[in-house]
Amino acid sequence: MLLAGLPAAMGQSAIDTLKDKRILKEATVNGTAGGGKDIKLREFAPGQKLTSIDTVTLQQYRLQSIGNLLTQQVPVFIKSYGFNGLATLSFRGASAAQSQVLWNGVPIQNAALGIADVSTLPVMFMNNVDIIYGGSSALTGSGNVGGALVLGNESPQYAGKRYTLSLAGSGGSFGQLATGIDMSVSLRTWNISAKALLQTADNNFTYTDDRGKRVTNSNGQLNGSAMMLRVSHIVKDAGNFNFVAWWQQYDRQIPPALFERNSFKNQNDGSLKLALNWSGPVINRSRWYARTSFIKDNIDYADQALKLKSNAVTCQYFQEVGWERFSGKHGKLLIFTPAQVSWLTGTQSRGTKQQNKIALAAVYDLKLQDNKLDIAANIRVESADSIAFSLNRGQRFLLPGADASYQLTDWLSLRANIQRTYRLPTLNELYYYPGGNASLKPEYGWNEDAGYTAAVTIKRFKVYHDLSVFNRNIHDWIIWLGGAIWTPHNIAEVHSRGVETENRLEYMTGKWMLHLKVNTAYVLATTLTSYVYNDASIGKQIPYAPRYNGQLNIGFTYKSLYFNYNHTYTGYRFTVADESVYLPPYQTGNVQVMYNTAIKHHSIQLTAQCNNIWGEQYNVVFSRPMPGVNFLAGFKVGVL
């Protein structure tokens, strides 16, 4: 979580024909116009594995973070530094900096760290949460090596004078309190919505320290606030305009690690995200779109015991212009050019450091054999420059790829994907002081994955099974090593491979629906070659890449009552490159209950959650204790 203390963590938009003149519906290109599903990945990447979080699950985690949601529901590894700490993504053994986070098509990783802290992303602010497995650099850009978390706001609906309002609140163990408000106004050509969230927590749980003594977690206070405003306007013959402003502030004390007796550290994270999207009407089988965004992140870190203070301000400007062309009944072409400028200032960077990236990309999708076969080919040329790269001479990367899916039968489909990918060293990896390494090389390599999906309905039973196998070779992999001062280094080559499954069984009878879901992941990510002579890490698992990971969900829905038991398992995590030190596996049990009803003109939703019901004592990250049994209850009241 700490910039100063933990460098290893550092990172149709046209107007439809008015059949109903009271309602104007919006269709989006690339999820750009008003949010919603990311069409770029859904319609131009048929062979890419994509998992979506359902609405019921999003409601259950409404006042929690995206990090909590993914930990319990998706077979990706969330590297959490504690109940009040940083939480980062790891897809298929990739590092946090190799995992991309997109919001309405805009990359929102911290411009210096190259990572997104998913513990600060509120579920309440998102209407769509998708997970893309495997690299898709041609479509989403550099940095997407292992996968991507794709977040989206709902697409605006235009209807004459419609108002919505909902209030939500929750409270739980260790002083957890949260309250949220969600409101919107919809007119014939305007849609305005606003969301706000306030959070606080003491995080004063008890745990056993390294001496075997029961202690209470100290210096763990959290205060957070966030707001989002969206204004959408649709103009006849000009398309849809959508502006979103998202501000948030998290003031977090940093509890002591197991080897510390006290902590006087705190960190204040502030972020402002501004995004403007336009999606034009369809004219002569084609349409244009454009998006632009500005993100400013501020991290203030202080350790009073050491009289240490640091500040880092990172900014990034992103813009993208694209053109989509429908060629006949079965083909479509997308050409787009994204550009990104990032800069860092602060006490740890010794001046202002800047990084620029610009690209030209194209993808063609073709459907054949009565749409059973869907093939896409893509290519991206990206140019990057930085002071570290040969005195600003820059580097260019060619990123080709292809993927396909085939509907073999009514119930069985196949898919395959191959992509070349690369990741530029982040500003922190290059310039952090002390420890940055301006000689770092970009990571590059190939991703391949394939799989199948079987979905069958037999009377009252619905069966879903998905299996994926993947292979990835990345050269010049970047890893932080060191003791008192950590420094990033290039490993010659890392080979990742593995198998993932998603399994779901549903049974319906009368007013009952029973469900059973099992997700599993096996990941082997090992150092293949090294620049270091006689390196002990050769053939060993990359640190903090668990080989085994999985979740089980079992429960039922009866009328308006929903019950679910969730069980998670995370395997061994080696904490050093030669596998000499590791953290043992852990598993947690979690229970979720939700009830929906209505009283007069108000909808009421009640939720309750008990986490870690078996009282497992575990650490996701070395020496960072996690809480035992804890509870959370909440409500939502909406005006119908």
Backbone angles phi, psi at 467, to 5 degrees: -130, 135
Domain boundaries, the chain: 7-280+290-346+358-639
CB 576 within 8 A of CB 543: yes
Where is pLDDT greater, at 245 or 260?
245
**218-241, pLDDT tens digit by residue?**
999 999 999 999 999 999 889 999
421: helix, coil or strand? strand
pLDDT reading at 38 higher than 70: no
0.75 surpassed by pTM: yes
Residue-level pLDDT at 117? 93
What mean pLDDT comes out for the span 361-369? Answer: 95
Q: Percentage of the chain with pLDDT > 70?
A: 92
pLDDT reading at 15 higher than 80: no
Residue-level pLDDT at 394? 58
Nearest to 342 by CA among 478, 150, 141, 94: 141
What mean pLDDT comes out for the span 124-138? Answer: 90
- DSSP code, position 541: B
Comparing 137-146, 221-230, 374-383, 534-543, the range with the smallest average pLDDT is: 137-146
Q: Give the separation between CA 258 and CA 211, rounded to whole angstroms.
A: 9
CB 60 within 8 A of CB 592: yes
First-last CA distance in the chain = 41
Return the structure tokens found at 594.
């939700």
Residue-level pLDDT at 328? 73
pLDDT reading at 392 higher than 50: no
CATH architecture type of domain 7-280+290-346+358-639: Beta Barrel (2.40)
**342-354, pLDDT tens digit by residue?**
999 887 777 888 9
Which residues lie below 8 Å from residue 582, measured CB to CB, with a gap of 6+?
A: 572, 573, 574, 575
CB 253 within 8 A of CB 220: yes
